[in-house]
Structure 1
Amino acid sequence: MSNAKRTRTVSKPQHFTSPPHGTLQKLTYTGPTGSANYYVYTPAHYHVGTSMPMIIMLHPCMQTPEDFAAGTGMNDLANQHNFIVVYPEQTSQNNGGECWNWFDPANQVRGSGEAAIIAGIAHQVENNTSRWTIDKKRVYVAGMSAGAAMSVIMGATYPDIFAAIGVHSGLEYQAGTSVTSSVTAMAFGGPDPTQQGQAAYHAMGKYARAMPVIVFHGSADTTVNPINGQQVVEQWMETNHLASKAYNARFSSPASTITHISPGGYPYTVQKWKDKRGHVVAEYWVVDGMGHAWSGGRLGGLFTDPFGPSASQAMYEFFMNHPRH
């Protein structure tokens, strides 16, 4: 089967079931800007008092937290490596397609809208010390598509909470500020990344610092144009340069570029950029021939492609190398 015929696996999603001994709990957050349900996955053999990293996973449109968990396999990784996974839930009442409303200006600033709700969920889990002991220097957020665009927003608006972000098939900060402009950005790319990088830096306010970012995108994505992946990298280059003079990378001059072939057959390229101290600040994974799907996801999951490298594994490894200082 050619790569062109393996660009997507969009079938009926599997129902989520917890791996043996892990627990999944549904909770509700209510705050000044609204409320949302969320799920917390606690891995097997976890004991309260053992400090653990936490990854918040933001699902794409037309998907539930259960579907996203099943498709990405993130809970299995949590069992292997001992970390907490949190899945906030967007509802059809807030968006007909169950999309995060990343294009709404009210959700693109600190202390407002969905950004404040997601941050509130993170704080609520951190503060539930009778059930979890979260390492506050190792709290991360990742997402796909609309969820990825929201993860970019979270990195810009709450750099004091999130140590690093993962962006799969997403868009730069404020790529769209209305339904119309968001559709345009998905099809053709967003505004100038340097300009948006400055906007994200201003959104950080007094909490500004370099935000490590790992970006995944399929080269055959027809839902979110692949140019958006590059723009995410470039936007954060500008933001991080403004936030830390130790980072002065250029997109055209990565510290390393490596091409591999995944076990499933897709070629993919990984580019990395470092700061002046030699620390990797950004990674950009382009999967050649893959469409709008979570790379290395479970067969049968919604918006997953098992033939690519594992985005879940790559993001986990990237995150663990980037605690918040």
Structure 2
Amino acid sequence: MRSIADTITRLHPKIGATGTDRLSDLPDFGASASGLRARCYVPDDLPAGAPLVVVLHGCTQTAAAYDHGSGWSELADRHGFALLFPEQTRANNPNLCFNWFLPADTTRGQGEVAAICAMIEKIRAAHALDPARVFVTGLSAGGAMASALLATYPDVFAGGAIIAGLPYGTASSVGQAMERMRGSGLPDAATLTRAVRDASPHQGPWPRVSVWHGTADHTVAPATGEAVVAQWLGVHDLSAGPSETALVDGDAQRIWHDGDGRVAVEAHAIAGMAHGTPIDPMGEDGCGAGGAYMLDVGVSSTLRIAESWGLTDTIAVPRARARPAAPPQAANGVGDIIEGALRAAGLMR
């Protein structure tokens, strides 16, 4: 029988640092005992009051490799914001996964979530960044840790984007984590909501959350993405029915507005995409580079997430292009196409 470490390694082949490492170290962030490394990217002549994006890599990845694949530092140069890349170490986790399932690392004031918030405070103070515009995103285990940060420190973040990740508070051991990755044993919506509301003394307002998942993800089941959506719909006191739906370049979008008409929760189901971060390196608005778990599917989650947070100068227009497609579906309109994508993911009957 394979060990857990061997299983995770097979799920996530090692991703070496490709391209140039554009990141710098952030030393002495006040919680070095956590074992995490702090890396960052700050464009030259960044003005005071700029936003900050925290980016969390997946298992076996490095911060530099994830930046190269996702293109976050390219966007930071174009649009003027700072980046923080917490990086896992093998002393903490032999597969370089953030420990999103361990209570000691996902409880407010403790472990990895506390260390990452200490990094945020360090870089924010050093560069006079805007405390009201701090955002977090991550892939897979990094996405699950983004869930944990949004739950335990909702007062720190204006928004978050969870890519192929998992909901907060659903596992407390490696065995449970593997079950949840398969979509097994997920709690009901009320329990998911309570996990976030009990994770901090915060009473709102709550961060804006977007969830990204491929409909053909066999590593972290699409059902886990739906559980993340349900968790944050409950936190925002929103009904299950979305305010609007759309289909953009194979991205079946559902959007929920709060009582003031602002976007509170978004769900993106990328038709036919496996496990990874959706990217689009092509064209003048493209960024990133394809590779293992950096999936060139004609949808730039990096750009679209930055847009949704108000970090870009202009709104990018999605471009039609050839891309691997899910099997053709008979559909009469956008609603039918979205429904077909959700059925293909096993999210509807």
Give TM-score scaled by structure 2 length: 0.79
> Take 2:79 and 2:210, find their aligned partners in 1: how far apart are those partners?
19
What amino acid is the match of 1:258? A
In structure 2, the partner of 1:89 is 87
5 Å-filtered alignment, 1:284-299, equals 284-296=267-279, 298-299=288-289
Q: Greater strand percent: which structure?
A: 1
Q: Deviations over 1:119-168 (max 9, x none)?
A: 1110111121xxx1201110011100000001111111111211111100
In structure 2, the partner of 1:37 is 37
Change (3 A) 1:9 1:59: closer
In structure 2, the partner of 1:15 is 18
1:61 match: secondary structure:
coil
Please state if 1:200 is matched with 2:196: yes
2:182 match: secondary structure:
helix
Please state if 1:184 is matched with 2:179: yes
In structure 2, the partner of 1:310 is 300
> Take 1:174 and 1:272, find their aligned partners in 2: how far apart are those partners?
24
Please state if 1:250 is matched with 2:250: no
Number of aligned positions between the proteins: 292
Q: 1:103 aligns with which of 101, 104, 119?
A: 101
In structure 1, the partner of 2:115 is 117
Q: 1:280 aligns with which of 234, 239, 263?
A: 263
Q: Which runs of 5+ in 1 are unaligned?
A: 1-7, 242-248, 262-266
In structure 1, the partner of 2:335 is none
Q: Which runs of 5+ in 2 are unaligned?
A: 1-10, 281-287, 312-349
Contact 1:254 1:273 in 2 (8 A): yes
Q: Runs of 4+ in structure 1 displaced over 4 angstroms?
A: 8-14
Change (3 A) 1:104 1:14: closer
> Take 1:317 and 1:9, find their aligned partners in 2: how far apart are those partners?
29
Aligned-residue CA RMSD in angstroms?
Answer: 2.1
> Take 2:68 and 2:54, find their aligned partners in 1: how far apart are those partners?
15
What amino acid is the match of 2:217? D
> Take 1:103 and 1:93, find their aligned partners in 2: how far apart are those partners?
17
Contact 2:236 2:258 in 1 (8 A): no
Higher relative contact order (CA 8 A, sep 6+): 1
Please state if 1:222 is matched with 2:218: yes
Contact 1:9 1:301 in 2 (8 A): no
What amino acid is the match of 1:250? S
Report the alpha carbon displacement of residue 193 of structure 1 after superposing the two structures with TM: 2.9
In structure 2, the partner of 1:259 is 247
1:137 match: secondary structure:
coil
Give TM-score scaled by structure 1 length: 0.84
Among all aligned residue pairs of Structure 1 and Structure 2, give the percentage whose two residues are the same amino acid. Answer: 31
Contact 1:173 1:197 in 2 (8 A): no
